[in-house]
Amino acid sequence: MGRYLIPLGVFLLLAVFLGVGLKLDPKKVPSPLVGKPAPEFKLARLREAQSTISHEDFKGKVSLLNVWATWCVSCRAEHGVLMELARADVVEIYGLNYKDVREDALRWLARYGDPYVDSAFDPDGRVGIDWGVYGTPETFVIDTDGIIRYKHIGPISAQDLQETILPLINELKSKRG
Amino acid sequence: MNVFYRLVFLLSVLLAGPAIAATNTYEFSSPDEEERFKQLTEELRCLVCQNQSLADSNAGLADDLRNEVYDMVREGGDKGEIVDFLVQRYGDFVLYRPPVKSSTAFLWFGPFLFLLVAGILVLRFVRNRPKKVAELEFSEADKQRVAEALRAAEQEKGAR
């Protein structure tokens, strides 16, 4: 009897490995920045080009940093969700306009709405590299101490928001009090 | 002959791919710098098209990261520093040669584990076999039957 169990065991082991492999998305690379302070940066604002915005702006509240660009198709897809979230007024959403043209970005926000409390402008993507950005859209959840708690890769769906991001925001908010 | 030339053409087109892949040309002040740059960009992985190295990829991000590596090489950064810079931002994923640590232990030692298990199974299989062969013993009756059969075959040959 035992000898028939061996091939069966081998098959089950293989099936488990292949099954796990199917579930993994190679496009989602875990960020080493989670649990670490937000990388330092200082960039011109998208709207008021003379003034600057920096990592210091995240301190003292829970915030999101959304990396986006007008050339990014899936950014358009998540835009509605971000607008929805901005209207709910539960968290401050910051924008990082990545490798884009200022006029295009401003036109885009005028047309589809601006969910961001403030936007940084990173035309050459240097700050993007410091944040480990490799594809837009990406969204970071930053806690009151300026520590990155979560990174979402790809467009945020309503489901992602409900099941992952909002509970995390609430948890981080309650910690403060 | 025509076919031969076509094949040569096809092959040369296929092989030309890597030559046109890297878009920028870089200038170095020493062969050592150039060597370091080459080694690094071939060992680091592009995160957008994950089966290509930074040296091969045409993706915008690969171009940015190549420039970043180039700047660091020109500023005299050694290999370890530059690799650390990228790992801090993108994780071990950028390395084609992942480091040995607890999370990658299975990756490194898994194949040996499988080899060990397979070796044990083969050993058991081989050990079990000769026993069965040894069980086949000729009795006196068997020997007689063989002798008879041989004699009969001999006679048949002679009769022909």
pLDDT at B30: 87
Where residue B26 falls (left for φ over 0; alpha for ψ -120 to 50; beta otherwise) is beta
Q: Cβ contacts of residue A128 below 8 Å, gap of 6+?
A: A67, A96, A98, A99, A122, B64
Token code pair at residue A109 = 């926000």
pLDDT at A100: 94
Q: Do A33 and B89 touch (CB under 8 A)?
A: yes
pLDDT at B13: 64
Token code pair at residue B80 = 């370890």
pLDDT at B57: 87
Distance CA A108, CA A105 (A): 5
Q: Which of residues 81-100 of A touch B (CB under 8 A)?
A: 99
Q: Give the residue, A175 or B42, on which the prediction is more confident.
A: B42
Q: Which chain A residue has the Cα nearest residue B65? A: A129
State how far residue B89 is from chain A, nearest Cα, in angstroms.
Answer: 5
Cβ-contact A76, A83 below 8 angstroms: no
**A29 and B CB contact within 8 Å:** yes
Going from the C-alpha of A52 to that of each of A47, A55, A115, A119, the distances in angstroms are 10, 10, 19, 10
**A26 and B CB contact within 8 Å:** yes
Mutate to test the interface with A, among B44, B47, B48, B90 (most CBs of A within 10 A): B90
pLDDT, one tens digit per residue, over B15-73 is: 665 544 454 678 888 888 899 999 999 999 888 887 889 988 888 889 999 999 999 99
Where residue B100 falls (left for φ over 0; alpha for ψ -120 to 50; beta otherwise) is beta
User: Please, which pLDDT band fits residue B99 given cuts at 50, 70 and 90?
Assistant: confident
Q: Cβ contacts of residue A125 below 8 Å, gap of 6+?
A: A98, A99, A133, B60, B61, B64
Spell out which residues of chain A touch residue B98, defining contact as CB-CB under 8 Å.
Answer: none
Q: What separation, in Å, do the N-terminal and C-terminal C-alpha atoms of chain B show?
A: 61
pLDDT at B132: 60
pLDDT at B23: 47
Q: Do A125 and B48 touch (CB under 8 A)?
A: no
Task: Cite the DSSP H helix spans in chain B.
Answer: 2-21, 31-43, 60-74, 79-90, 105-135, 140-159
State how far residue A147 is from chain B, nearest Cα, in angstroms.
Answer: 15
Contacts 24+ apart (CB under 8 A), A155-158: A155/A74, A155/A75, A155/A77, A155/A78, A155/A81, A156/A78, A156/A81, A156/A82, A157/A78, A157/A81, A158/A81, A158/A84
Q: Give the residue, A119 or B158, on which the prediction is more confident.
A: A119
* C-alpha dihedral sign at A108, A109, A115, A119: positive
Distance CA A7, CA A42 (A): 60
pLDDT at B14: 66
The shortest CB-CB distance from A129 to any of B48, B65, B92 is to: B65
pLDDT at A37: 94
Q: Give the residue, B98 or A42, on which the prediction is more confident.
A: A42
User: Please, which pLDDT band fits residue A14 given cuts at 50, 70 and 90?
Assistant: very high
Helix (H, G, I), strand (E, B) or coil at B38: helix
Task: Cite the DSSP H helix spans in A42-125.
Answer: 73-88, 102-112
Q: Cβ contacts of residue B38 below 8 Å, gap of 6+?
A: B55
Q: Do B90 and A32 touch (CB under 8 A)?
A: yes
pLDDT at A160: 94
Percent of chain B past pLDDT 70, that is, above it, reads 86
Q: Do A6 and B68 touch (CB under 8 A)?
A: no
CB pairs under 8 A between A and B: 42
Residues B37, B38, B42, B45, Cα dihedral to 10° = 20
**A146 and B CB contact within 8 Å:** no
Token code pair at residue B121 = 């199974």
Distance CA A140, CA B43 (A): 28
